[in-house]
Amino acid sequence: MTYKEYYNSNLMANERLAELGQTLVSRRIEMPEGSSTTRLYREGPPRIIAKGVEELGEFFQALYEQDDNQVNAEASQALYYLFAWTVYKVGNLDGLLAELEKKQPSQRGMPQTLGHAVRKCSESMGRAYQGLLSEAVDSDECNLRVAEVIFNFQDAMAAAGKGSWEGVLAEI
């Protein structure tokens, strides 16, 4: 992928994540009846985290056993809950978008195996949720940890040769 292709795909991704962030913030503030996100926010952190962890397991299973569409769907669901929790704790996705813009694809090494990629996803997701749960971890650190999850999801999909970031964004 050329830098221009990477840059253009990041612009599209950031636009889609910005839209999602606005929707999540709106749901968090307005709490409209009938919205599944409103229900999730009312049930609070235990429910958000439980759903995120459940979907993370389904993403891992899809990496090994499913096709591109299922990998995209499971990744989007796992990330949706992480983003919902980020908005719940931090208030928006603006800092996350800023973190995503800072990284270049050449700044991180690709995992050598799918198993290694899955482990990195799991560990980064754990660090992200830990940071989001902790009062001692500030918003900037939370955003950095959530960005790392996104990069690890992308790497895991590349290691599996399944799914795509564009496909995940289309599903969210």
DSSP characters over 41-75: HHH-HHHHHHHHHHHHHHHHHHHHHS-HHHHHHHH
Domain count within the chain:
1
In angstroms, the CA 108 to CA 101 distance is: 14
pLDDT exceeds cutoff 60 at 99: yes
* pLDDT confidence of residue 86: 93
pLDDT exceeds cutoff 90 at 59: yes
107, 153 contact by CB (below 8 A)? no
| pTM metric for this prediction | 0.86
* 107 vs 125, higher pLDDT: 125
Confidence of residue 27 (pLDDT cuts 50, 70, 90): very high
Domain encompassing residue 20: 3-171
pLDDT exceeds cutoff 80 at 84: yes
Mean pLDDT of 4-25: 72
Confidence of residue 51 (pLDDT cuts 50, 70, 90): very high
pLDDT exceeds cutoff 60 at 70: yes
Confidence of residue 10 (pLDDT cuts 50, 70, 90): low
